[in-house]
Amino acid sequence: MVLGFLRWALALCVVLSGSAGAQPAGVSATYPLTPLTADSPVQIDIGANIAYLLDDSRQLQLEQAMAEGQPWLPVARTAPNFGFTHNAYWFRLVLDNRTGKALPRILELPRPFLDDVRLFHLVEGRVVSRFALGDEQPFAQRAVRHPNFVMPLMLEPGRNLLVMRVASSGTVEAPLRLWEPAAFHEASGNEYLMAGAIFGMLVVMIVYNLFVYLSTRDINYLYYIFFVASYLVFWGTLNGYAFAYLWPEAIRWNSIAVPIGIAGACLSASLFADSFLKLKRHSLLAHRLMQTMAWVSLCLMMSALVVPYSWVIRVTSGFILVVSMAALSIGYWRWWQGARYARFYCLSWTALFVGVGVLTINKFGWLPSNFLVDNASQIGILLLVVLLSFTLADRINTDRSLRLHAQSVALAHAQKARTSQQALLTATADANRALEERVHERTNELNLTLDQLRLANEQLQRLSMTDSLTQIGNRAFFDHSLVTEHKRASRLKQPLALMLMDIDHFKAINDTYGHPAGDACLRALAHLMRQQVQRAGDLLARYGGEEFVVLLINSTLGDALELAEEFRADIAALEVPFEGRVLRFTASFGVASAVPDMLFTPSQLVGDADRALYEAKHSGRNCVRAAAPRLRKPAEPGVA
């Protein structure tokens, strides 16, 4: 089904290229005339009030285009739009100045991605002014510094003939607008304001989600950032703002930035869908499909550097529809399967797919240009930005709910098992009492008591090794593990490092916000440190109160100091939400390290770290201090 859709999309590119706005052979157009009076509006959309001439050789000059017998045709749509085409097109119209005096006007062509635009202003057969514009020429050569092609005119009284030639390796469009200068500058200011708002919002979302990624290390945020950045390149280039203000001299880069931006969006969208929807776990076929699309997108990005623009823009414009449709279809499939977190994903990508689809179809010439059509992708991306924030948050909540449900089911099974076990023990005891009667009555009671005591002791031992608040090892667990690792390190002659950490001013948190707030801080801190202490053999435990301890095997003092500093920075940046507030706190660290031997006990290692922690507390807190390294005592004379 997906391969069929791909073939359909590529066929659509071929069929639509160069077909929009065509007229039957033999139809001819007179000079379209636009009257200008004192009551004319300050902005006039030329629209279809223009004739065009097909130049399939791209060699016609002005005199040849204006020669008698040329087949000038009327425009069939609301504005000239010929989609992707290799042909050049000539346009002509007459501005009839009926005011009796010279009129300053500005002619705007709001399609900044056209390669070659030439305008000739003629009065009674003589060329009054001419302009040569296009995105393949340095931006500094433009008559007016503006992202769009802007041509200032001084219209003489009477009829002024405008002849324009447009050629491009992409789409050819000419939705011309005629402005009074003051109105044009006012409208440009409003457009700049809107563009600045869109640009600012996208940049803010990139920076914000980058910080979220650095805090959560969730790869989905990175894919999302890549997608927004790719769209920002595409949007800025397509609307001319990048060429005007970022790279006005980089003509080659400006010509390939649009397909690179589109391919980058396809790449990030494919990776995001694959990761966010967990396709590798739920559907190997869908996972391979999105991975294939990601590789194709990467190849398109690379090919934009060497393949002609006219080819790569067609393929990328069609391929983004395929990627969007596949990602959206798989999202609805996952939602239908029961993945509740996919609902906001589907809504967000539906908004983007509609926006990009409208824009792409417009570029092929199927839709006329207007405000909604021209800004469809911007509207879609803004909706995507808002809805994806709900999407990512919703998936986190869904995963949390699933974990809680799994824990609840496990607890119910454990309770049922304990109940069954107790019933079995009771039945056994009853049977034994019945068989042994009075002779074995006291023995059976004693055995039952011993069994119950053994189960209680096993449960107590498990509970005694785990801190109930933070769900990490407790003091007893640490003491037992420290002795074991001390012996192993002494035998292998490996360094053993100990990191003792204490929350700064923890009593102030409890006194200000209450003990539940302190508990929330302890849980958040334990969760943060648990993610960092992942190496086999290393252990994390709650040492007591607001103190935590980390034991690092085969680690030098430098290794421990580096990790402690990372912990200190991460804790200082940690935000703990509690009852509508965000709690922050810092921590002090004491670090000690040594190669244990029979003369260096575990308690001495703890004592060194504790003294270093005491020094950190008295050095202003929120810092790391190391204990002085212990020197191995020289062997006594006569001792091998």
- How confident is the model over 115-141, as pLDDT tens digits? 889 999 999 888 999 998 887 777 777
Query: Both tokens of residue 353?
Result: 């797919």
Per-range mean pLDDT, top range of 231-245, 326-340, 387-401, 556-570: 556-570
Does domain 2-179 correspond to CATH entry 2.60.40.2380? yes
d(CA 430, CA 543): 46
**Higher-confidence residue: 324 or 118?**
118
Q: pLDDT grade, residue 326 (50/70/90)?
A: confident
**Which segment of 189-193, 402-406, 414-418, 606-610 scores lowest on mean pLDDT?**
402-406
Higher pLDDT, 94 or 634: 94
pLDDT at res. 441? 67
What angle (nearest 5°) sits at the alpha carbon of residue 425, between those of residues 422 and 427?
A: 110
Contacts of 571 (CB under 8 A, 6+ apart): 525, 528, 585, 586, 587
The amino acid at 5? F
Under the banding of pLDDT at 50, 70 and 90, the label for residue 318 is confident
Catalytic residue chosen out of the listed positions 108, 445, 546, 636 = 546
> Which is higher by pLDDT, 623 or 342?
623
Residue 150 has pLDDT above 80, yes or no: yes
Q: Are 388 and 348 in contact (CB under 8 A)?
A: yes
Q: What is the pTM of this model?
A: 0.51
Q: How far apart are CA 21 and CA 244, in angstroms?
A: 30
**Residue 617 clears pLDDT 60, i.e. is over it:** yes
Cβ atoms 317, 323 nearer than 8 A: no
Angle value at C-alpha 350, between 346 and 351, nearest 5 degrees: 125
Tokens, residue 214: 């650095």
Tell me whether residue 636 is one of the annotated catalytic residues. Answer: no
Whether residue 91 is predicted with pLDDT greater than 90 in this model: the reply is yes
CB atoms near residue 515 (< 10 Å): 10
pLDDT for the residue 398: 65
Question: How would residue 6 be classed by pLDDT, with cut points 50, 70 and 90?
Answer: very low
pLDDT, tens digit, for every residue of 27-68? 345 668 889 988 889 888 888 889 999 988 888 898 888 888
At 365 the three-state DSSP class reads coil
Task: Give the model's pLDDT for residue 10.
Answer: 35
18 compared with 492, residue with greater pLDDT: 492
| pLDDT (average), residues 417-430 | 82
Q: Which amino acid is at 425?
A: L
The pLDDT assigned to 366 comes to 67
552 near 498, Cβ under 8 Å? Answer: yes
- Domain ranges (residues) in the chain: 2-179, 204-388, 403-464, 475-626
Alpha helices in 437-465 (DSSP H): 441-464
Residues in the chain: 640
Q: Which residue has the higher pLDDT, 540 or 325?
A: 540
Residue entry with tokens 């950032």: 225
The alpha-helical segments, DSSP class H, found in 58-111 are 62-65
Tell me, what's the pLDDT at 575?
A: 92
Q: How many whole angstroms from its chain centre is CA 574?
A: 22
Question: What average pLDDT does the segment 8-35 reach?
Answer: 47
Q: Choose among 502, 637, 474, 472: nearest CA to 567.
A: 502
Using CA atoms, how far apart are residues 268 and 265, in angstroms rounded to an integer? 5
The CB density around residue 39, as the number of other CB atoms within 10 Å, is 6
Torsion of CA 522, 533, 592, 597, to 10 degrees: 130
Indicate the class that CATH gives domain 475-626: alpha beta
Q: Specify the pLDDT at position 204.
A: 80
Inform me whether the pLDDT recorded for 385 exceeds 80. Answer: no
Q: What is the mean pLDDT of residues 557-579?
A: 93
Contact (Cβ atoms closer than 8 angstroms) between residue 149 and residue 111:
yes
Indicate the pLDDT class of residue 13, thresholds 50, 70 and 90: very low
CA distance linking residue 611 with residue 96, whole number of Å: 92
